[in-house]
Chain A
Amino acid sequence: MLPRCLRAFSKPLCISFQESGILGKNLNRHLQFVGVNSFSSTRMSCMPQDVSLEKCSGKKDTLYKSVEIEIRSGEPAVLLSYEWFTSYAAKQLGITIGKCWAPPKAHHNRLTLLKSIHIYKKHRVQYEIRTYFRHMTYERLTESTLKTFLEYIQRNVPEGVAVKVTKKSVLNLPSSLSDSVRRLSIQ
C-alpha cells in the first residue's frame, strides 16, 4: 500500500506524487520529507531535490470520482458507529463526504422449519437472520489518498461487519483512440 520508495532508516523518506491530466506532469506537486521517527538517531544529509525525485516512483496517480462503501452487519448500532468513524477520519484527511444513507428496513432471511424431528407437520418453528445495510460515499480522491484511507478504514472494521467498496475511477481516452478521433474529425 505504501509508496514503493518508502524505506526505513536508509535515507530520508521522500514521497512524490504526480498527477495526470490537465495539469500535465507536475513532479514537484507534493514532495514532503518525512523525518525518521524515533528509531535511528543519525539522519542522512538531505539529497538535492532533483535526484530524490527521480529515484521515487514515477507512476501517476489515477483519480477516483467517488468511492462507495457498503457495510452490512447484524447490528445497526455498530454500523452507525463505524459510519461515524469513517466520516470523522475522512474529514481529518480532507476527503469530501458524499451521501451517507441506510435503507429503512433490514434484509430478513427467514426459515420455517419443522419443530419436531418426526411427524407433527403442523407445528413449525421460524428463524430469521437480519442483515442491516449502510452506504457511505466519499468523493474526489486521488489514488494514494484512496489507498491510505481504505487501508485505515479496513484495518479498523469491527467484528461481524462485511464491507464492499465500489470505486469509480476516471481515465483519459486511450492514446490510440484519441489520435484516431482527432485524425478522423479533422477529415
Chain B
Amino acid sequence: MSAIVNLRVFRNFQQFVSFRPISNYPTSLNKNAEVQNVEDDDFRALELRPNKSNNMRGNRRKTAYKKTPVHPPRSNKMPVDQDWPSVWPVARVFHPASVPLPLHQGWVEPGITPPGKFANAELMKIPNFLHLTPPAIERQCAALKKFCTEWPKELDTDEKIDHHFPIQITTSDYLHSSPTIRDARARIVTLQVKLSTLHLNSHAKDKLLRLVKERYDPITDILTIVSERCPLRKQNLDYAMYLLNVLVSESWKTEPWENEKSEADMEKYVWEGSQSQRTLQQLLERMPDKAPVLPEDIEQYSTNVTRFHNEGETTENVNTYKESVKKLLGLNA
C-alpha cells in the first residue's frame, strides 16, 4: 500500500521537477525568486548561513515532506544519433533515466497501462542486453577479428573432413555460477573413429570387435572410446589415444591359442566345414544316382544357407533357399 502511495507521489515529482527548484531549507520568497533565474544546467545555490529571520514564527513553514530536488532525466537531452555504446558500455542494472525509451513492464488487469520504467523492479531484475546492441557487437568483433583464423576452404564437406581427419574427439566445458569454477564432468573425453579408416583385414577386425564389444556401432561403423578415469582432461585424452594404439596393434597380432577357434566361437556362419556340408555330402552319397548333382547347385545351396544364417529369416531368403533345395534334390514341384 505504502509503495503505491510513494509511487504516486514520486510520479508527481516528474511534473514538479522541471519547474521551480524546491530547496530543503525554508527560504524567503525573495530567495526563491533568485533561484528561479538560474538556468537548469547550473548548480543549485547552497546557502551556508541561512538568515535567522527565516526561522521566526512568521516565516517558518511547516516542515513539509522533504522533497529532494531531482534533475530531469538525462534521456530528455540525449541526441538521436548519439554513440550508444559509450552511454552503456558494460552490463549494468537497468537505469531508467539513461535509457531514452518509453518502456513498460509488469502484469496488470487488461485495459490498464503497465507500469512505466521509473522505479520498476521488474525491469531492474531482468538482465538487459543494452550493452550488446549491434553497433557495440560489431565494434568488439572488429577488434577480435585479428585473433581469428579462417577455416581452410578445401575442407568444405563433411566427407572431406572425415577422410583427412578420421579421429573425432568430443569434450565439454561447463560454465555456471557457483562457489567453484571447476566441474568434474569436464575431464571426460570421447574418441570416435570409423573402422574403415584403420584398414584392418578380416582377422584383425574380428579380433578388435571382440576386444571392444559394445563400444562399436555396426550401423555407423564407429568405434567410441570414452575415457573418464583420469582426473585431468589431457590425461584422459592421452589414455584414449593409447587405447586406440594398443587395440590396433593387438588385433594385428596372432596368438598361438587363436588356432583353437572352434565352430561355437565363430562370429558368422561359414559353410566350409559346417554340419550342413557334411550332411549334404552324406545325403548325396546315399541318394540313388538319378542325375549327377551339379557343383553349381551345391554352391548356390551353400551361399543360400550362409545368407540364411548370417542375415536372418526374410521371405526372400526363405524363397531362394527353397529354390536351391529343390534344384539340389531334383524336385520340380
Q: Give the interface of A toward B (CB within 8 A).
A: 2-3, 15, 17, 19, 21-23, 29-30, 32, 34, 61, 63, 65, 75, 77-78, 81-82, 85, 88-89, 92-94, 140-142, 144-145, 147-150, 152, 154, 156-160, 162-174, 176-177, 180-181, 184-185
Contact = CB atoms under 8 A, between A and B. Distances in A.
A163 B168 CA distance: 22
B225 to A, nearest CB: 13
A63 B165 contact: yes
A63 B151 CA distance: 8
Contacts of A172: 164-167
Interface in B135-175: 137-138, 140-142, 144-152, 154-155, 158, 161-162, 164-175
Interface residues of B, number: 50
A17 B149 CA distance: 7
Contacts of A154: 175
20 contacts: A22-B155, A29-B149, A82-B129, A92-B145, A140-B151, A142-B150, A148-B148, A159-B177, A162-B175, A165-B175, A166-B170, A167-B172, A167-B173, A168-B170, A170-B167, A170-B169, A171-B165, A174-B245, A181-B198, A184-B252
Contact of B147 (A88, A148, A157, A162): A148
Nearest to A153: B175
Contacts of A165: 172-175
A148 B144 contact: yes
Interface of B is mostly: mixed
Contact of B149 (A30, A159, A169): A30
A3 B161 CA distance: 25
Nearest to B198: A181
A94 B244 contact: no
B152 A181 contact: no
B199 interface: yes
A80 to B, nearest CB: 10
B17 interface: no
B53 interface: no
Nearest to A37: B143
Contacts of B162: 170
B149 A145 contact: yes
Given A19-B149, A168-B169, 13 more contacts: A23-B154, A63-B165, A65-B158, A94-B150, A145-B149, A150-B173, A157-B175, A162-B174, A164-B173, A169-B170, A170-B161, A173-B166, A177-B248
B129 A169 contact: no
B52 to A, nearest CB: 54
B181 to A, nearest CB: 11
Contacts of B177: 159-160, 162
Nearest to B162: A170
Interface of A is mostly: mixed
B111 interface: no
B103 to A, nearest CB: 14
A102 B253 CA distance: 49
Contacts of A81: 129
A45 B126 CA distance: 50
Contacts of B78: none
Most buried by B among A3, A148, A170: A170
Nearest to B151: A140
Contact of A171 (B142, B167, B172, B174): B167
B253 to A, nearest CB: 11
B165 A152 contact: no
A155 B234 CA distance: 25
A138 to B, nearest CB: 11
A157 B158 CA distance: 31
B152 A92 contact: no
B197 interface: yes
